[in-house]
Chains A and B, each alone.
Chain A
């Protein structure tokens, strides 16, 4: 039997990122993936012939130049000039505003006062998020991982904040735990703009705009960048698939061996040390180190199992919140959609339907009681209008993210799915007439479908809630936040670990660094 230095479970982008780093350091790496293709939640699949629809993730805004360089993505097919996507916030009567890079706006529908206040607010939030951003590429501090240089970094960050002046210093501590709605209402009048920012702050987590700490979501979004350009959202040339391919090609050329269609069932343990994995079909693979990039829930409770975990740890893991609330609707259209409110050029934007803060909050309310929103908030992207290679000429793909759709619906998804899709389409019809008629294929993925298709318990974007009680040192739990586990030589990475979800590759890189540090 072949034996490897490191076995990585899951060929999502983080699993691939870690594999690349490890293979480049001379380790013999095996990457096991349960599906038939790489990419995990960033993968694409044709919904019908020739329509290359991004199954879940459809935009990139957390891929830093450091990740791109360390993983050699440019060398393996990631273009340097990609599509930068502006955002439009629209309501059902067609009124809209638009913003581009890092929420800059020259929209004529915004008052000059709003523009001024927006600029000031974003500048402040950008500063605040830049402080948090310093810690992205660090293995978080915990009892097993505290060094003088880490302490120094905290001290220096605190100092830099203080040196920014009394006002910024006070504002940071005043704002950091606030809800996004209160912050926006202090500064901005325009409902569409507030709706957009509140939507971005709450998308992907179980918080409404009026839930305390929801500003954190917006800070996380603003901390994003693409290849050095701060606050932009990008559709890579050739679609998300192109980016995933770049990850994969980089991994292959680094010497990573990849096996698809192998679902890991359990770890092989010797005393308290992992020595390999066993797959569902009984195959065994041996390795000195195992790195799991799948959800921590799955790694700990399925691969290791509650019987092998200390009760205290088990209690903490069982308290993780990992039920997703975002659904995805992918459409194949035989005609390019049009809108009387938006110019054709504007259809190349990310179009957000979140007309006001209250509208989002009203949609969040039923989700608390496991019910569906009546008029859900949407993020609509037509990737094939932006990049025409993604669908046959004259046709289009619509990629729609639907917010506040609980995983464990009271009435069950089977009963509600069709009517819910119908509601969404009728709403879209108001903005894009004839859209419904041009549908040739529909794919709807509720959180529970995402759970099944992508093997993520709860179908959560971030594997587990990315709220302030589960960030940095507390992600996924304090004891294991530096990518280690209670089992010797078993490590974790992925969205469930620091810094969280989004296609950044950071947790993969961090965990690989941690492995290299511990096993020189």
Chain B
């Protein structure tokens, strides 16, 4: 059983977590200049607009970097693979790779992944699986 510490919903990022509950991966988008940004910010650094909109990610991306995460003080807790994903839309997101044994005998860099959503005791997180087709 994986225990997840939930996010603190903030004015600037509540949309992301609400979207995850509905199994959508949302990226903040400037309603005026259309620049995407993550992590979210209250206004657009490109044009100064506060017209904050979202776009729904297709959920496809590439692993830039990864680690095996053991809980340092709870050895019984199941290790998780933490990944930094670059979404095809261009923004980056920290997440986890699931459905793969958490050992370091993989080379996961540059592997293609696709999003899935997992409910961890009420906290729904966007997670990723290795894509069927790899380059």
* Mutual binders A and B: no
Chain B interface residues (CB < 8 Å from chain A): none
- A residues neighboring B (CB under 8 Å): none
